Amino acid sequence: MNTAADTVLPPVTGAWREGDPVGARRFARLGPLRPERGGELPDVTLAYETWGRPAPDGSNAVLVLHALTGDSHAAGPAGPGHPTAGWWDGLIGPGRPLDTDRWFVVAPNVLGGCQGSTGPASPGPGGRPWGGAFPLLTPRDQVAAEALLADVLGVGRWAAVIGGSMGGMRALEWAVTHPGRVGSLFLLACSAAASAEQIAWSDAQIQAVRNDPGWRGGHYHDAPPGRGPHLGLGLARRIAHVTYRSEPELAARFGRAGHDGRFDVQDYLDHHAEKLVRRFDAASYVVLSDAMNAHDIGRDRGGVAAALRRVRAATLVAAVDSDRLYPPSQQAELAGGIAGADGLRVIRSARGHDGFLAETEQVGALLRELLA
């Protein structure tokens, strides 16, 4: 059912932009960065949020890395500057698994993102948004920016680096690229390298955005409301969301129920598409999806097995048993290849890939074990 908000034209971008409410964000200017695949970012900014207080020696810092459409707002309510509540709100805070009376928790918005970090909606050379001219990125580029952020924050070594899905890719890159800077590691629902099937699903979403007439080669950010590639971004979200959930869950929740000539599951996908186009940027979705496709921990390192041998951190690897996008066999490869991994842990959930976000009790128990 449409609400009053649904009848308002969608914004040309859901990106955070200069002049919008800052909320709990902080900003770090990190200087220039040259992405692996060419181009240059002359003045990188990362938005980030923190909880707790850093120890004088920086030894209690924990890095939490978000998934594709997440951001730095890992904990806290929705409000000005934050259209949704924290995506791991139940896990971060006093007495919670990421206990902020003990740990200094840092969550950055990824490079290429759209919630305060340098990305396609940010001003480029000349002051206009980068748009389609934004450089291609890899997870290693994103970790390079996060390492500069750690330097700014005075964190020489993270007590733990934690991430699921796209965040897990970056967490793994941290442990391989900077093994001396990662004390412990938590990898959820991620892989050592993007598989052909994952690339195929992602490419369908990228093409949905790029084939929207409002895409305009990625240079749409100055268009009026309703004229951006929101139809393509909504279609991409519909495709993605099916891969994020499990078939048994969708069958149990919706079956063939419907009304007015439509199935309830279609309304469900419409709802998630509408939400995303109002809080995210289509060009960031393309840039980040492309970066995920480029994920390969073994590239230029002698292969996956050799790369995983670089990890020195005590490691927990967790799979979601119903995950059809990042199946447990991929996490088993990580657990078997990292010397410091304590076997493969399995999160029981009907919710598919999204179980790493939804099953907070199970994830919280693993976090407490890692940080004990």
Query: Residue 226: what residue type?
Result: G
Q: Give catalytic status of residue 165 as yes or no.
A: yes
- For 273-299, what is the mean pLDDT? 98
Q: Give catalytic status of residue 323 as yes or no.
A: yes
Here the CATH number for the domain that contains residue 175 is: 3.40.50.1820
Confidence of residue 3 (pLDDT cuts 50, 70, 90): very low
Please tell me the total count of domains within the chain. 1
Q: What is the pLDDT of residue 366?
A: 98
Res. 7: pLDDT tops 90: no
d(CA 62, CA 159): 6
Say if CB 10 and CB 69 are below 8 A apart. no
Res. 5: pLDDT tops 50: no
DSSP state string for 80-104: TTBSS--TTGGGEETTSSEETTT-E
- For 221-239, what is the mean pLDDT? 96
Res. 1: pLDDT tops 80: no
Q: What is the pLDDT of residue 8?
A: 83
- For 210-238, what is the mean pLDDT? 96
Q: Report if residue 214 sits inside a domain.
A: no
Pairing mode, if any, of strands 41-51 and 26-33?
antiparallel
- Residue among 274, 288, 284 nearest 11 (CA): 274
From 221, 241, 353, 354, the catalytic residue: 353
Q: Which residues contact 246 (CB under 8 A, 6 or more apart)?
A: 322, 323, 324, 350, 351, 352
d(CA 198, CA 96): 33
Q: Report if residue 273 sits inside a domain.
A: no
Q: Report if residue 290 sits inside a domain.
A: no
From 178, 323, 349, 354, the catalytic residue: 323
Measure Cα distances from 346 to 86, 154, 314, 322, 351 in Å: 24, 35, 18, 10, 13
Tens digits of residue pLDDT in 73-98: 999 999 999 999 999 999 999 999 99
Pairing mode, if any, of strands 41-51 and 104-108?
antiparallel
- For 354-366, what is the mean pLDDT? 98
Q: Report if residue 231 sits inside a domain.
A: no
From 72, 117, 165, 246, the catalytic residue: 165
Confidence of residue 137 (pLDDT cuts 50, 70, 90): very high
Q: Report if residue 112 sits inside a domain.
A: yes
- Residue among 219, 217, 224, 209 nearest 11 (CA): 224
Q: What is the pLDDT of residue 116?
A: 98
Say if CB 165 and CB 68 are below 8 A apart. yes
- Residue among 372, 10, 299 nearest 141 (CA): 299
d(CA 73, CA 167): 14
Q: What is the pLDDT of residue 323?
A: 98
Confidence of residue 4 (pLDDT cuts 50, 70, 90): very low
Res. 6: pLDDT tops 90: no
Q: Report if residue 211 sits inside a domain.
A: no
Q: Report if residue 131 sits inside a domain.
A: yes
Tens digits of residue pLDDT in 181-200: 999 999 999 999 999 999 99
Res. 2: pLDDT tops 60: no
pTM of the predicted structure, to 2 decimals = 0.96
Task: Say which residue the tokens 């289509």 belong to.
Answer: 282
Q: What are the b/e assignments for 276-310, b being 16+ CB within 10 Å?
A: bbbbbbbbbbbbbbbbbbbbbbbeebeebeebbeb
Q: Give catalytic status of residue 354 as yes or no.
A: no
* Length of the chain measured in residues: 372
- For 162-172, what is the mean pLDDT? 98
d(CA 121, CA 114): 7
Percent of the chain with pLDDT over 70: 98
Q: Average per-residue pLDDT in the chain?
A: 96
d(CA 255, CA 252): 6
- For 279-294, what is the mean pLDDT? 98
Q: Report if residue 34 sits inside a domain.
A: yes
Q: What is the pLDDT of residue 340?
A: 95
Domain extent for 168:
5-195+296-370
Q: What is the pLDDT of residue 209?
A: 98
